[in-house]
Structures are given as structure tokens and as C-alpha cells.
Chains A and B, each alone.
Chain A
Amino acid sequence: MNGCLLGIDDLSITFRTPEGTARAVDRVSFTLDRGETLGVVGESGCGKSVTALSILGLIPSPPGAIESGCILFEDRNLLGLDPEALRRIRGRDISMIFQEPMTSLNPVLPIGRQVSEPLMVHRGLSKAEALDQAGDWLERAKIPAARRRLDDYPHQLSGGMRQRVMIAMAMVCRPKLLIADEPTTALDVTIQAQILSLMVGLKEETGTSLLLITHNLGVVAQTASRVVVMYAGQVAEEARVADLFDRPFHPYTQGLLRSMPRLGNREAGRSQRLREIPGIVPAITATIVGCKFAERCPHAFDLCCQKPPELFGIRPGQRARCWLKEFPERRRDDG
């Protein structure tokens, strides 16, 4: 590939809560190449969003604290930067799209002003120039009659249109990295398809790298080239997208893929039972000695409850945090 753009290494983030210290991100490492789309999937509380927020220095401290690790962006450690330096990177080199466009747009400013702001701040363009380019980007984001809508306010737009405005605002400075945190979760499925194809199209056009955070395995399958699966603050598995869906190694990944109903698989008559993952995610404040998934894992054996597994290499590009790599005979056929 074209070399590494972002490298997260051994990142741990904790939050102080009334119930004790919560280890939201636990020694997470992964890299993202230039021009690549990396999907980060996992369920609520797995640490995927906290990881994303930490890249932009958006972890509130207190209660949050970065315990260890570094986030290398083009050879600079973002965690060591002063707020001013970070502000120069945010919105210019790295930008972010959030799940709920209504809460991330300013309701009292027209959209043209909001989309042009990064250009005035980072590129030093005049208001008129910036507004003109904002119009361009709103057109690229396929907002109908974009130039006539520069004075519209967010409430005048539908959810899908607001997300298009967010994308235009994020892309307007042609960032090297775009972080999208559940960008389509609040949208209807037909609008989701439009927004995903828009994001992928703009990414191809500009060569931006995309870090796509989602709980939706379908979205990942259709957009990412590599995937990181997170569970309880850790990377459980990492693989190229084809390997993850064809040859998942970690019992959690396997369980997730099996537990989903698949569209187009329905037989006439009574429907089959889904293969559920038993139990629930451990409390974020819990101290777990061994593997965090052991409690719910059909293959778990004594070692799993005693010693945390490391990320073992499975095949080129694929790693899994599971003792079955070392003890394959322990994998149960029915699990």
C-alpha cells in the first residue's frame, strides 16, 4: 500500500465512574494505510467510539484519562500535541462525522456558513471564497439545488440531507483522514445506501483514508477493506474483510456472524432459531483475569479464565486474541 497514515499503539483509556475505574479502551493497537477504509465494529460499550474520539483529542479529562499508548498520525504523536497544534489538525487533516447530524450541526447557523467555516479557519479563505467552495462541496454531496440552500438552516433539511451537509463540512478541507462514527445508524436503509455510496465515492475521489466505526456488519462488509472487531475494550480480531467473513477465527466474531438473520435465507414454513451468543458483555468496571469473552465462549477452557490471551497471528493480515490459536484441539465442533 501507500504507507501508514495512522498508527494506534497500545492505547489504554480509563474513565472514573462511581462504580470504579472503567477501562474503556484496553491496549488497543491498529494501523490505517493511506487511502484505506478500515472498519471498526463492535457492540455498545466495546470502546470503538472512545478510540475514535481519542484520535481527535476529544476525550474529556476528567473523568477520562489516557493511561498509555500513542496515536501516530504521519509520524507525529497526537497525544503529545498541545491544544493549539491539535486544533490545526482537526477539521483540516483529520475530520469526523457523527451519528446524529442534528446534534452535530449548529441549529442557529445557516449550513453554508457551517460548511465554509473550516476553509476560513484552516485555509485562510475570505468569506465569499469559502462560501463558494462550500457550495461546490454541497453539490458534490448531492444536495439538490445546493447553491440555493446555503442560507438554509439544519432544521429545514431531512436527516439524510443533514448527513450530506456533515459530509461536505468534513471533506471541505480534503482531510487525509475521515473518521465516521456510525454515520448511517440514524438513517433509513435507502438513505443509508445513498450516504454510504456518497462517502465511498468522495473517498475515492480525494484519496482520503476512512476509519468507519459501526455496529453493522453489513455496512462493514460493503465498504471496508480491513476490519477490527472490538470486544470489551480490546481488539478481539483483525482481518482483511474477506477473511473476516469467510474465515473468522475468534469465537466472538464467529458468534456475531452466526447470530444475525440473513436476508434472503428464509425458507417457507417455520423459521429456524438463530444461534445466539449467550450471556451479556461484562461490566466495564469488572476485573477479569483471563479472556474477557471466556464467560460467553462455547470453547472456553481452564486457561481462558486464568490468563488473558494476546493477539496471535492467524494468517497474513489476520490476528485474533484467542487461546485457540495455541490450543486448536480445544475448539469444540458444536461451538
Chain B
Amino acid sequence: MAEAPLLQVTGLVKHFPLGGGILAQPTAWVRAVSGVSFAVRRGESFGLVGESGCGKTTTGRMVLRLIEPTSGRIEFDGQDILHLSRKAFGRLRRRMQIIFQDPYSSLDPRMTVAQIVTEPLLAGRRPTRTERRRAAEKLLDKVGLRRADLDKYPHEFSGGQRQRIGIARALCVRPELIIADEPVSALDVSIQAQVINLLQDLQSEFGLSYIFISHDLSVVEHICNRVAVMYLGSIVELAPAAVFSREPRHPYTKTLLTAVPLPDPRHNAAPFAMEGDVPSPIDPPPGCPFHPRCRFAFDRCRIEKPILLPLAAQHQVACWLNEGRGLS
């Protein structure tokens, strides 16, 4: 029997109301996430990829209850976090932290680095000044910043260094799970590699689990053990990273992969073209969310929403082609 997962998400749904007001009923609902299930093991990097509006960020935030789910179940280390008391959730919440995309807007410009990285400590027993200072020094060592930086303010740092500050803050309370939402997307290529390496080093050192949210398939493939591809609020394929890029079974996964311009001028594969834009999540199509853009769509796809079916070890696809096995 495999070890119980650190995080188990089941049937997670989020509908945001549109229009309406304090008294008025909402006029419509944005179906941002419609029934997402996955598990994250201890020490694993789990990738959520997809294009803007696919629900990957909303999913990540719901895991931390930064956004309250409409329905579904989230178990962290065996505890149902949606039905915990405030106090119990507060204790548990320390074990999950988040790193944001934009290193410019996610740090308070009026706080020093030492204050920023140790702020999470204030949520527990109040540390003494010396304790706090010492914790900050250790954190800066871990993320490759100098102790001389402790009393500086965020504006004195470059984007890559600010992202290191954000990582130090997430590490402060020794979490087990870190949700990294596009953590390197705003960084230049040469700095991106530094931050990716740092995240991987910290993972080995502290046995961290990551939910790595990104639109950059190369980065996700590189960092993650398993990858879930999202489209219009649903996971359409879930596979080990090495399988996801080589043997995609969902037409959307294949479209995404072939759309990535490879840094190789000789590579001239015709893109697995897809026309049109992502449909509105306010009025999503019936059946498979991808069918209006899928060249293989047939009758069943227009009526019945495919469910994630297992194909091989750890590989699942939600596609009606070939009796639910996706592309052959």
C-alpha cells in the first residue's frame, strides 16, 4: 500500500458570482473550477499547467483557503481542512505556504527584509527580537541572500532577489507544502535558472512538496514529477512529467506542447493547430470543455463530459477518443 498522500483534493468546484449585489441575485456564474481531483505526495512536485483562465491559480488558492471552494473536499495530512475549526485550521495553515508570481507587488515596500521573511512567525507564539533576527539570518543564508541585506527594503533588490525574499518568507515556518504560483514567470532567463535550482535545492533539504503552477511547459516539465493539464476549469490529463511531454493523449495537451516554440531552428514540426479562443467560463460548452476547438470531436464529446480514466501507471486522460484512452 502506498503512503497516504500529503494532500488529497476531491471534486473541487469554484463558481464566482457575476453581477448582483448585497440583495440582488447574481446574474451569472463564472465556473472557474469545475470538479478537480488530484493528490500530492510527500516530497513531490506536482505541476498544474494551462493557459490563462483555466483555473490553475484558483485551484492553488483554494487549497490554502485563500479562496473558499463552492464545493469539494481538501484533505491535508488526513484532515479535512474545509471543516476544521478556525483555530485548528490556523495551526494547520502554517504547514502550507505560497510563493507568488510578481516579486514586485507581493512584498510590503515599507517593511525591511528581516521583517518580511519572519512575519509568518507572528502568527504563532510571539518570538523575541533576537529570535526573530536569528531566524531571518538563517533564512537569508538558505535562499542565497547576504545577511547585510537584512535591513534593506524590497525596492533595493532585483526581481530575482525579491523572489528569493518571497521564498524565504514561505520557508519561515518550515512548511511541508508550498504552492508556487508562476514563481519564475516574471524573471529573466538567466535568473529563472537560479531560482529553479534554489527551489529544487530547498526541496531536497527540507523534503518539501510543491504545487507548481505555471503556463511554461518547459519549466513545469523540468521541475515536476507529475503534471496535470487544465482546460476551462477541469483537469484533462494527468501524467508523470516525462510521459506528459512525450506521449500526450489529450488533444489539448498535444496542442499546447506543439505550440511551444523550441529553441532549435531545425525543429520545424507543424503545430498541432487549434483555432479560436478558449470559450467563456461563464457559459462553458456542454460535454467536453475542449470539443468546440477539437478536430477529433464526435457526438459523444458534445453531450457527455469525459472523466479522467486511467491509461497506465499514473497516467490519466479525460477524452472519449478510443474508448476513453485519448489519442493513440
A in complex with B: yes
The chain A residues found within 8 Å of chain B, CB to CB, are 43-44, 144, 158, 160-161, 188-194, 196-197, 215-223, 241-242, 245, 255-257, 259-268, 271, 273-278, 280-281
Q: Does B30 belong to the interface (CB within 8 Å)? A: no
- Contact of A273 with B259 in the complex, beta carbons under 8 Å: no
Select the residue from A218, A255, A261, A267 with max chain B CB neighbours within 10 A. Answer: A261
Shortest CB-to-CB span from B22 to chain A, Å, is: 27
Shortest CB-to-CB span from A99 to chain B, Å, is: 14
CA distance A192 to B256 in the complex (A): 11
Closest-by-CB residue of B relative to A193 is B259
Q: Could you list some 30 contacts between A and B, CB below 8 A?
A: A43-B189, A158-B277, A161-B277, A188-B52, A189-B51, A191-B277, A196-B261, A220-B263, A221-B261, A222-B262, A222-B267, A223-B261, A242-B265, A259-B190, A259-B192, A260-B192, A260-B193, A261-B196, A261-B222, A262-B262, A263-B245, A264-B221, A266-B222, A266-B245, A268-B240, A271-B222, A271-B241, A274-B193, A277-B190, A278-B194
- Contact of B223 with A192 in the complex, beta carbons under 8 Å: no
Shortest CB-to-CB span from B214 to chain A, Å, is: 11
- Contact of B263 with A257 in the complex, beta carbons under 8 Å: yes
- Contact of B189 with A245 in the complex, beta carbons under 8 Å: no
Q: Does B257 belong to the interface (CB within 8 Å)? A: yes
CA distance A33 to B134 in the complex (A): 60
- Chain B 91-107, CB-CB to A under 8 Å as 1, else 0, gives 00000000000000000
- Contact of B197 with A274 in the complex, beta carbons under 8 Å: yes
Size class of B's contact patch? 35 or more
- Contact of B263 with A197 in the complex, beta carbons under 8 Å: no
Instruction: Answer whether A189 and B221 are a contact pair too, CB < 8 Å, given A221-B265, A260-B189, A263-B257.
Output: no
The chain B residues found within 8 Å of chain A, CB to CB, are 51-52, 158-161, 188-194, 196-197, 200, 215, 217-219, 221-223, 240-242, 245-246, 255-267, 271, 273-277
Q: Which residues of B contact A223 (CB under 8 A)?
A: 261
Q: Which residues of B contact A192 (CB under 8 A)?
A: 259, 261
Known A220-B263, A221-B267, A265-B222; further 16 A-B contacts with Cβ < 8 A: A43-B189, A43-B190, A189-B215, A192-B261, A193-B271, A193-B273, A218-B262, A222-B261, A222-B262, A222-B265, A245-B263, A255-B190, A262-B262, A268-B242, A271-B200, A274-B197
CA distance A223 to B265 in the complex (A): 8
Shortest CB-to-CB span from A113 to chain B, Å, is: 23
Closest-by-CB residue of A relative to B245 is A264
- Contact of A264 with B246 in the complex, beta carbons under 8 Å: yes
Shortest CB-to-CB span from B233 to chain A, Å, is: 16
CA distance A222 to B218 in the complex (A): 16
CA distance A159 to B223 in the complex (A): 29
CA distance A271 to B188 in the complex (A): 21
Which residue from B160, B194, B259 sits with its C-beta under 8 Å from A189? B259
Closest-by-CB residue of B relative to A216 is B261
Q: Which residues of B contact A274 (CB under 8 A)?
A: 193, 196-197, 222
Select the residue from A158, A188, A265 with max chain B CB neighbours within 10 A. Answer: A188
CA distance A191 to B261 in the complex (A): 12
Instruction: Answer whether A189 and B197 are a contact pair too, CB < 8 Å, given A158-B277, A215-B189, A256-B190.
Output: no
Q: Which residues of A contact B265 (CB under 8 A)?
A: 221-222, 241-242, 245
Q: Which residues of B contact A188 (CB under 8 A)?
A: 51-52, 215
Instruction: Answer whether A189 and B271 are a contact pair too, CB < 8 Å, given A43-B188, A276-B197.
Output: no
Shortest CB-to-CB span from A211 to chain B, Å, is: 18
Select the residue from A190, A215, A218, A219 with max chain B CB neighbours within 10 A. Answer: A190
Closest-by-CB residue of A relative to B270 is A197
- Contact of B196 with A190 in the complex, beta carbons under 8 Å: no
Q: Which residues of A contact B221 (CB under 8 A)?
A: 261, 263-266
Shortest CB-to-CB span from A73 to chain B, Å, is: 27
Select the residue from B223, B255, B262 with max chain A CB neighbours within 10 A. Answer: B262
- Contact of B274 with A259 in the complex, beta carbons under 8 Å: no
Q: Which residues of B contact A268 (CB under 8 A)?
A: 240, 242
Shortest CB-to-CB span from B240 to chain A, Å, is: 7
Closest-by-CB residue of B relative to A196 is B261
CA distance A138 to B199 in the complex (A): 45
CA distance A313 to B267 in the complex (A): 27
